[in-house]
Homo-oligomer: A and B are copies of this chain.
Amino acid sequence: MDLKQIAKETAKTLQSYLTYQALRTVLAQLGETNPPLAHWLQNFSAGKIQDGEAYIEELFLEKSDLALRIMTVREHIAAEVIEFLPEMVRTGIQQANMEQRRQHLERITQLNLSSPSPKTEKQIISDPNLDNLSN
């Protein structure tokens, strides 16, 4: 596992994703102030935002003021939200892992309870602890 490479690729993906969020923000602003330009930007951006840098570069050639605006917004968004991400993601993954394991446990327990062998059935009836599992 090349953690350094993973960190680099993740940072690049995050950078592109924040560029996409900046585009969405600018689109919402233009929707209020200049709907035709919002419409143009929406059409221009469709399917182009996977690689944030290539997208900005292309937009510069068409409408440099919009490219500059999205760049300013993504820098602002990064400055505001990025410090909260590590804790959010760490907690998010831990909770998601716990929830997935819980659901899995529930599924295999229900599976065993719904088609029990005679022996297992007897055990369920006689063991009050196992009754709780069927809830």
**Interface of A toward B, CB cutoff 8 Å:** 1, 3, 6-15, 17-18, 21, 25, 28, 52-53, 56-57, 60-61, 64, 67-68, 71, 73-75, 77-86, 88-90, 92-94, 96-97, 100-101, 103-104, 107-108
Residues of B with C-beta under 8 A to A7: 81, 84-85, 88
In the complex, A74 Cα to B73 Cα: how many Å?
30
Q: Is the CB of B94 within 8 A of A75?
A: yes
Partner of A53, one of B15, B17, B67, B100: B100
Task: State how many copies of this chain the complex holds.
Answer: 2
Q: Is the CB of A17 within 8 A of B10?
A: yes
- Nearest B residue to A83 by beta-carbon distance? B86
